[in-house]
Amino acid sequence: MTTLVGLDLAGRRVVVVGAGPVGVRRARRFVEDGAHVVLVDPEPSAEARRVASHGDVSLLARAVEEPDLHGAWLVVAATSDAGLNARVAAWCEAHRTWCVNASEGASGSARVAASSTHGDLRVGVVNQGPPDPRRAAAVRDAVGRYIESGQVDLRRHRAGEGRVVLVGSGPGAAGLVTTAGREALATADVVVTDRLGATWLLEQLPEDVEVVDVGKSPTNHPVPQEEINRILVEHAAAGRTVVRFKGGDPYVFGRGGEEVHACRAAGIPVEVVPGITSAFSVPALAGIPVTQRGVATSVLVTSGHAGADPATTGALAAGATVVLLMAVSSLPQICAAALADGVDPDLPVAAIEKGSTALERVTRATVSTAAAVMADAGVRPPAIVVLGRVAAEGFLDDPVCRTPERGGAGDP
């Protein structure tokens, strides 16, 4: 009978005997756990030497000796010599040191679980009978996929320290929410949500999860940012896990920095789960690459709230792509300023409404016609506006998109 136990190896000596593929893989895992790893092999592989050269692992390029195991909390015998592995396991048994025998699990006193990490949880699978690593890995992967789907309630059942997690939920499409974001949402006692992004996920939460809607629209800001900060801190201070659920990425015009600062100032633990920003993903899904070798080698992402910013017209004049967020109402002024600064009036403009969703709509114009075309089409937020040659309809079918000659213009 095997008892599954979690070992805290941080700061503790772990010896891995055998520097082949298995030994190096085990060494890397223990380094990730914070262990002081010693790798022993008379003929270490090139990969083992490379890992040791980074300072993460101490490498002894010689045959293992019993004194090498002194002070070790865990030993892994991972050589290609079953007899040597058994001898190392016997030394460990005499010293009462846990030992994993990679070639013959029955003679070792420990086994390394096939594991996956999900936030602050680690799930492991161990064979009770003879070792069968592929079987254990298959079960681990199946369990991991189930957890990552967001269908498992990961909330704490014991009282603990409150915390805040800022989660970027991407532009809204189901497949563009990161697994880390879905797992964080499954840990939430309270969700403080915007109106954009993958808000449909909130319908899958348990009924007793408190959802606080603080969403803004262009003309309606019912909950000021200072009040949002207070809500986050207040719930976390009461010992709750608070997920701040935001569209796109928290740090791309999402005021995530302000919310992190407020939490840190109040002594609240806070972390950020990045999201896929709509500035790049929405144009990509609409067939618009924001950069293209030989055409647009830089991109400026800015907010429409900045209005006719000289940086925007300067970037357009330099041939960069400009991506505007929250710019539907200010687009006429931005285009007028660009024309006044000498930007080509025929430069393409594309507005993508409700990007990544089933209601996505792309409206195309030029800098000189954008104000009238967008008004006639009734373009409304949320929309991403792209200005630049890459925004032309059928751009990816244009011969200009072929691979430039080496060293050609715009070759990065």
Q: How many CB atoms lie within 10 A of CB 392?
A: 18
DSSP string for residues in 88-157 = HHHHHHHHT-EEEESS-GGGSSB---EEEEETTEEEEE--SSS--HHHHHHHHHHHHHHHHTT-S----S
Q: 189, 194, 249, 309: which one is catalytic?
A: 194
Q: Which of 35, 40, 39, 44 is closest to 10 using CA atoms?
A: 35
Q: Is the peptide bond before 206 cis (omega within 30 degrees of 0)?
A: no
Residue 202 near residue 192 (C-beta atoms within 8 A): no
Residue 162 near residue 242 (C-beta atoms within 8 A): yes
Residue 403 is classified by DSSP as P
Which pairing describes strands 383-387 and 348-353: parallel, antiparallel, or unpaired?
Answer: antiparallel
Residue 82, CA distances (Å) to 17, 85, 370 in order: 12, 5, 74
354 phi/psi in degrees, rounded to 5: 50, 45
Hey, what are 108's tokens?
Answer: 């070792």
HSE-CB at 32 with a 13 A cutoff on CA atoms is 8
Annotated catalytic, 246? no
Annotated catalytic, 216? yes
SS3 label, residue 401: helix
**Strand partners for 101:** 77
Residue 388 near residue 365 (C-beta atoms within 8 A): no
DSSP string for residues in 176-219 = GS-HHHHHHHHT-SEEEE-SSSSGGGGGGS-TTSEEEE---BTT
C-alpha 126/C-alpha 141 separation (Å) is: 13
C-alpha 277/C-alpha 384 separation (Å) is: 11
Q: What are the residues whose beta carbons fall under 8 Å from the beta carbon of 161, sequence distance 6 or more?
A: 239, 269
Q: 33, 56, 216, 341: which one is catalytic?
A: 216
Q: How many CB atoms lie within 10 A of CB 153?
A: 12
Instruction: For residue 130, count CB atoms less than 10 angstroms from its CB and return exposed for 0-12, middle for 13-18, buried for 19 or more.
Output: exposed
Residues known to be catalytic: 194, 216
